[in-house]
Structures are given as structure tokens and as C-alpha cells.
Amino acid sequence: MKRPLLEVKNLKLHYPIDKGFLEKEQNYVKAIDGVNFSLYENETFGLVGESGCGKSTTGKAIMKLIEPTDGEVIFQDRDISKFSRSEMRSVYKNIQLIFQDPFASLNPRKAVGKIIEEPLIVNSNLDSKARQERVNELLETVGLHAYHASRYPHEFSGGQRQRIGIARALALNPKIIIADEAVSALDVSIQSQVLNLLRKLQRELGLTYLFISHDLSVVKHISDKIGVMYLGKIIEQGTKDGVYTKPLHPYTKALLSASPAIKSENRKERIVLKGDMPSPMNPPTGCAFHPRCFAAKPECNKILPELRDVGDGHFVACHLYNE
Amino acid sequence: MKPLLTVSGLKTHFFTDEGVVRSVDGVSFIVSEGETIGIVGESGSGKSVTALSIMNLLPYKKGKIVEGDIMFQDQSLVGLKPKEMRAIRGNDIAMIFQEPMTSLNPGYTIGDQISEAIRLHKKVRRKEARKRSVDLLTEVGIPNAERMVDEYPHKLSGGMRQRVMIAMALACDPKLLIADEPTTALDVTIQAQILELIQKLKNDSNTSILMITHDLAVVSEVCDRVIVMYAGRVVEEASVKEIFESPSHPYTKGLIDSIPSIDVEVEWLKTIKGNVPIPSQMPTGCKFSPRCQYAMERCTKEEPELTRFESGQKSRCFLAKEVKDETTIIRSQELEVALSD
């Protein structure tokens, strides 16, 4: 059995809600509420879910950009969730983040070369000349050219900016890259270029990805394993084929059938869910999905189903699969 | 079918400090009664500007229709006085916008906002307008419409707000509904709900729908006919079946191939090289030629006309027939493989 590169154990992040003067109890928004998964070397773990399910928060909590409330993040035998800011610096050498919005995540007043160089200044002992060389090398790696280093972000298109973001993330030779909706803001013809680039980099540099997205087709394309999130919890997890060809949880089934597809001949009957995702401030009792579920049983609104193994590395949190 | 809206040779240009931007440059198409048409394109293709030109909602003084005509029924919409246009907008032609979060006024109740649309065009009493609002909200699937009509927009989720927008657009039984990226800001399960609603609307009424989107999958689900735009031009027009089975423009073909499929697994996605051209650096000849895998020398010099096949499919490419034949063969092979599995 291969050992995981990064293990997320029972990760929780609860935001306190402003307490009214007369209210006695402190309430919390449970943005993520007990998430478990492992990243294996050179594999991609895809985290899918709709807005508000906590997928992006999970990425940020791993990086400690937001302090997690509870749980462990094991990287190289150490729990990085308890690290101090200065200790985290060494972790950032190994774990990097690519952001969703290529327009907001690059400093408009810095030349592209400087943007990519910054992690090298902070976290490596290369001299100025070596850094320049590394920047040029990185630009070539992501399909840009060395002469782009002196240009500013506004001179680039969305796809090119995302490439710059990727180059910056690669600067320190990280082991893990967390890509948070990395292609969502791009046009389809550009999206495919960036997805191919990510795959090529994974092959060449042996990278491990945590790929966070709402787009089921994109996640399927890039991932080896998949976790489906709903209201702060992973409700189904398994290999790509397991989750996509044999979805078990009613939410996963609905999500897959709701995703629009071009080839309509092999479209199964669409399951259209009623209602919206409930507010995490006031989640339903029992299984959080039961008010929208088409297969809900009486116990679903009382007992919270645990994520359980159903064989072949497939896990599901649903009462339908209790023996 | 009788044509409802005829756009012919439309050119909408923007006059900016950096020069003239030809956002829409010679676009022609027809929307017939009861038909659902999709306009597809990437950002900067001019699809939204086409919609704004029809609605006469171009930014004041900056954007201008410089050439061409937009005929709605027997009336030209170009050069109408603001008052005349207001009588049509929201009445005969209604529009749904992309952002349900920002297109409702947070200071008024939903009922007030729908009633306003009704009372602007029809002489009805406040009470009747309110009753009609409740009916409309029920029609678009808002639970407890009777109570919700007095709620403010902030109480509603994104999907519910988009339903309210649709209810408002339907308030005066428009003949043409323009939907600009109506599901782009929504989650997939909510998108499925809204698409189902649009489908229902299509079946139950004779409203023509002009759907503007970047999402080919959405188009394949609701539209009858598709117009593909690139750099301010129509590059292909065809029925939904034809566009996906035998696209005849390299751009359409590239666009379809670059979407990862949920059914078919591929190692590498097909891509269209390069980027969408920026307005100040428009290529000469065919605007797609720098990114086109079929480009010949001729393509960089002259721009192809929009030529028509017998079936009604149109393509702006010198090699339209070759591309179409090639894709037809590939698609049928793919289908055989899929069937033999």
C-alpha cells in the first residue's frame, strides 16, 4: 500500500456567527465539517460540489490561509495544521495554490518576471542571476516566452494570465498544487489548453494535484480520485470510474444527470432536484441532503449517515447503503 | 414559419479612446415565430452586444449601430425614439440577464418589481397587477408565491432570483425573449431547474427565445438552431443536430472538440491554438485564420463569405464543404465505435 503524500483528517472549519446581545448560545457556520481524504503521489484528487459546499474552504484550510478549527493535515509525517506562520513557510515550498480569477490574482503593478520571481526571493537562496534564469525557464515551461518577463499582467489574456499563475506556483518545485477552480474563468478553447498544460506538467514533474471545481466534466477529465462535497462534508468518494459510472449517493446521481451534455442520445432520464442547498448556518437534521432527496427514508432526517466503505475504495454517506 | 426578428448586416461599433472597436461587424440572422435560437461564442465574440443592439440598450454615446437594420415584425428598431422603444422593450421583447444578483432592485419587493413591468405596459389596477404577479411567480415554480410576492430580493437564492427575473420578463407575454447567459451564474442542479423551466416555456407558449451563451451543452439541450459567432461575425449557422454532427467551420469544430466530455475519456483534449484576437489587433482576411488548423494562404488575404449549404447550414469558410465532410466521417466512425461497445 502506497503511503499518502498528504492526509486530511477530520478537518473542520467553523465560523462563529455574530451573537446578538440577548442570545445565549454561540452559533457557528460549519463551512467544512469533518473532511477526510488523502493525496497520493503523482495523482489528482478532484473535489467537486456546488457553491457553498466548502470545497474552496477546504483548499484554503489545508494551506492555513484560513485557520482550521479542528482536525489534522499530515504532510511529511507532521501535522501542518498546528504550524506557526514561520513554520508554514517551509510548507509553502512544497504546496502551492493556483487561484480561480486570473485577473485578480496577479499584482497589476508588477512585471510578470517579478511576480514569478517573488516566491524565489522569499523561499530560496538563489542569487539574482540564477533567479532570472529560473523565471525564463518557468515561462517556457508554461508555454510563454522569456521576453514576456518584462511585460505587465494587463497585456495578457485570461488564459495567458492563468499560465503566469501556474508558473508562479511551480517556481519552488512544489510537490503538491492545489488548483482552486483554475480553469473556470476561461473560455472553452483556452480551458482545454490549460487542462492539457496541467496534465503535461504532472507527467513531467511528478506533481500531485488537489483539483477543486464545480465542473463535473473537467474534474472527470483531470482526476484519478474524486470526492463529492455537500454542505461541508464529503458525501461520496472513490475512483473516477467508480464515482462516474456507478454513483451511489442520490446527490451524486442528481449532479451527474444535471450536468448538461452535448451528446444527448445517451442521456439518461434527468433528475431535477427540488429546492436549493440549505444554509450552512442552519443545516437540516440528520442527512443534510434529505430535504432535496428523491430517495429519502424516515430515518434520514434523524440520523446522520457516516461515510462508509462499500468496497473497491468507494465510500458513501447514505442510509440507502446500510446492510 | 413567419420571421419575427430579422437582423441584417448589423454593425455595432464602440468609440473608445483607443479607437473604434468593431464589436459586431456585419451580423445577419432571422428568428422565426416560436423558434429557439442560440448564439454561441467566447468572450469578445460580440454575442452580448448583438443582444444589447436589439434591445437598444447600448451604452449612451459610446456604442452605436453604424450600419444595418433590425426589423421586429414590420417595424425597424434602429433609430427609434426612446419613448417608442420603451413601448416595445419589456412588452414585445423582454430580456433576462446573466446576473440575477444584480439585476433586481434590492429596495423594492418582488411583487412591486413585477407589477411595475405590468403596469408600465398595460392599463390595469394595482391589485390586478399584484394578482398577475402571484400567478407568474407560481408559473415559474416559486413555492408560496402568495407570500413570496412581498419579499425583498435578498431573501431569495440565486436560482429563485433568476426565476423572478423570468417571471418579470414574461409579465407582458413577450413575443421574443432574449436570455443572455441565463444559467451561467448558477450551480448545475439549479441550472437544470432553470433549463427545465425554459423548456416548459418553449412548449407551452409561442414565445421565440434568443439564447445567448458560451456553453454549447446548454445550447444542445434547448435550442432549435445555433448561430456561432467569432470576432464580431457569424461564422456558422445550422440546426442543433447539424452543428454537433457535422460542423462545417473549423472554429465550431474546435469548440466542440475542446470540451471535456463526461461520457468519453481522452488522454489529451483537442485545443484551438492561440487566443481570441483583441480588437486593436484584428487579423486580416479570415479572423480565425491565425488559430485555424486548416488555414491556407488565401485565408490571410481575403475574408470568406457566409455560404449556404442545401440543408440551410451556413459557414464562413473557404473549406466549409471539406470540413463538413471530414467531420461527418469522423462523427459516424465515433458513433460506430460507441455503438459497438
d(CA A104, CA A125): 29
**The predicted structure's pLDDT at residue B127:** 93
Those residues of chain B that have pLDDT short of 70 are 331-332, 334-341
Contact B218 A260 (CB under 8 A): yes
Cα–Cα distance between B148 and B133 in angstroms, integer?
Answer: 10
Contact check, Cβ <8 Å, B160/A276: yes
Measured between alpha carbons, how far is residue A115 from residues A32, A134, A277 in Å?
32, 13, 38
pLDDT in tens, A119-138: 999 888 899 999 999 999 99
Q: Is B191's CB within 8 Å of A260's CB?
A: yes
Q: Provide CB contacts within 8 A for A181, sequence distance 6+.
A: A56, A100, A212, A213, A214
Q: Is A22 on the interface with B (CB under 8 A)?
A: no
- Say whether B275 and A159 touch across the interface (CB within 8 A): yes
| Closest CB to B271 among A192, A221, A258 | A192
Counting every residue written for chain A, the total comes to 323
Inter-chain touch B259–A193, beta carbons under 8 Å: no
The answer to whether B252 and B244 are in contact (CB under 8 A) is no
Q: Does A278 touch chain B (CB under 8 A)?
A: no
Residues 6+ apart with CB under 8 A from A65: A97
| pLDDT digits 0-9 by tens, A289-318 | 999 999 988 889 899 999 999 988 899 999
- The grid cell for B44 is 469578445
Q: Would the CB atoms of B187 and A50 count as touching at under 8 Å?
A: yes
**Given this model, what pLDDT does residue A283 score?**
85
C-alpha–C-alpha distance, residues B22 and B277, integer Å: 12
Cα-Cα end-to-end distance for chain A: 28
Measured between CB atoms, does B272 come within 8 Å of chain A?
Answer: yes
A196 contacts B260? CB cut-off 8 A: no
Cross-chain residue pair A192–B220, CB shorter than 8 Å = no
In tens, the pLDDT along A52-109 reads 889 999 999 999 999 999 999 999 899 999 999 889 988 999 999 998 888 888 999 9
Across the beta sheet with B19-32, what order do the strands follow?
Answer: B19-32, B3-16, B63-72, B75-76
Amino acid identity, position B43: S
- Tell me the nearest-neighbour CA distance from A255 into chain B, angstroms: 6
Contacts of B221 in chain A (CB under 8 A): 260, 264
Residue pairs between chains A and B whose CB atoms are closer than 8 Å: 118
Q: Write out the DSSP string of B16-56.
A: ETTEEEEEEEEEEEEEETT-EEEEE--TTSSHHHHHHHHHT
ipTM above 0.90, yes or no: no
Domain residue extents for chain A: 6-94+174-321
Chain A residues near residue B271 by CB distance under 8 angstroms = 189, 192-193, 196
Between the alpha carbon of residue A29 and those of residues A66, A69, A279, A302, B154, the distances in Å are 14, 12, 9, 20, 19
* B216 close to A (CB below 8 A): yes
Q: Which of B254, B255, B261 sits opposite A217 (nearest CB)?
A: B261
Query: Closest chain B residue to A195 measured between Cα atoms?
Result: B269
Reference B142, options B118, B163, B120, B169; nearest CA is B163
For residue B246, which residues of chain A lie inside 8 Å, CB to CB?
none
Looking at residue A212, what is its pLDDT?
95
Interchain CB distance below 8 Å, A189 and B244: no
- Per-residue confidence (pLDDT) for residue B336, from 0 to 100: 66
Closest Cβ–Cβ partner in B159, B191, B262 for A217: B262
* pLDDT on residue B335: 63
What CA–CA distances, in Å, run from B305 to A191, B124, B236, B247, B318? 29, 50, 11, 17, 8
Chain B environment of A279 (Cβ under 8 Å):
none
A276 at B interface, C-beta within 8 A? yes
CB A19 within 8 A of CB A26: yes
* CB contact residues (below 8 A), chain A span 28-87, against chain B: 50-51
User: Are A221 and B260 within 8 A, CB to CB?
Assistant: yes
Contact A192 B338 (CB under 8 A): no
Contacts of A272 in chain B (CB under 8 A): 189, 192-193, 196
* Chain B residue closest in CA terms to A260: B217
Which residues on B lie below 8 Å from A259 (Cβ)? 188, 217, 262
Is A266 a residue whose pLDDT tops 60? no
A258 to chain B, closest Cα gap in Å: 5
Instruction: State the fold for domain A6-94+174-321.
Output: Rossmann fold (3.40.50)
A-chain residue closest to B240, CA distance: A262
Integer Cα distance of B180 and B329 in angstroms: 34
Considering only CB atoms, B192 lies closest to which of A218, A221, A258, namely A258
- For testing contact with chain B, the best of A144, A162, A187 (most B CBs within 10 A): A187
Record: contact A259-B188, CB cut-off 8 A: yes
* Residues A196-250 pLDDT 10s: 999 999 999 999 999 999 999 999 999 999 999 999 999 999 999 999 999 999 9
How many angstroms away from the CA of A251 is the closest CA of chain B?
A: 10
Asked whether the beta carbons of B299 and B286 are under 8 A apart, the reply is: yes
A178: left (phi over 0), alpha (psi -120 to 50) or beta: beta
Residue B307, pLDDT score: 92
A323 has pLDDT over 70:
no
Q: Which residues of A115-135 are buried (b: 16+ CB within 10 A; e: fewer)?
A: bbbebbeeeeeeeeeebbebb
